[in-house]
């Protein structure tokens, strides 16, 4: 049994050295594969039309304007109410 244990330990010692050498060689392939996958994913993207972009931009700007008016009015009314409360 002792000989078998020694053989298995030697195999375990050799295995990481081989895998680390393989990992070093595979690094450029991983990078190349990443960019190939990235390119294929970009081809799958459905870009919006000009009309959709204009429509979405308009919705966002109108929403921002309405929220700004609401917050400004709330701030003005709150400030006025606070002045009236502190002056009494």
**Cα distance between residue 36 and residue 40, in whole Å:** 6
pLDDT > 70 in the chain, percent: 68
Contact between residue 48 and residue 56 where contact means Cβ atoms under 8 Å apart: yes
Confidence check: pLDDT of 29 > 90:
no
Task: Give the N- to C-terminal CA distance of the chain in Å, as an integer.
Answer: 97
Q: What is the largest CA-CA distance in the chain?
A: 98
The mean pLDDT of the chain is: 83
Confidence check: pLDDT of 38 > 60:
yes
Which pTM was predicted?
0.51
């Amino acid at each position: 049994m002792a000989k078998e244990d020694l053989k298995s330990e030697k195999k375990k010692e050799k295995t990481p050295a081989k895998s680390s050498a393989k990992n070093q060689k595979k690094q450029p392939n991983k990078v190349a594969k990443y960019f190939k996958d990235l390119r294929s994913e970009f081809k799958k993207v459905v870009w919006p039309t000009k009309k959709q972009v204009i429509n979405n931009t308009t919705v966002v700007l109108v929403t921002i304007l309405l929220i700004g008016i609401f917050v400004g009015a709330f701030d003005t009314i709150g400030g006025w109410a606070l002045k009236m409360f502190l002056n009494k």
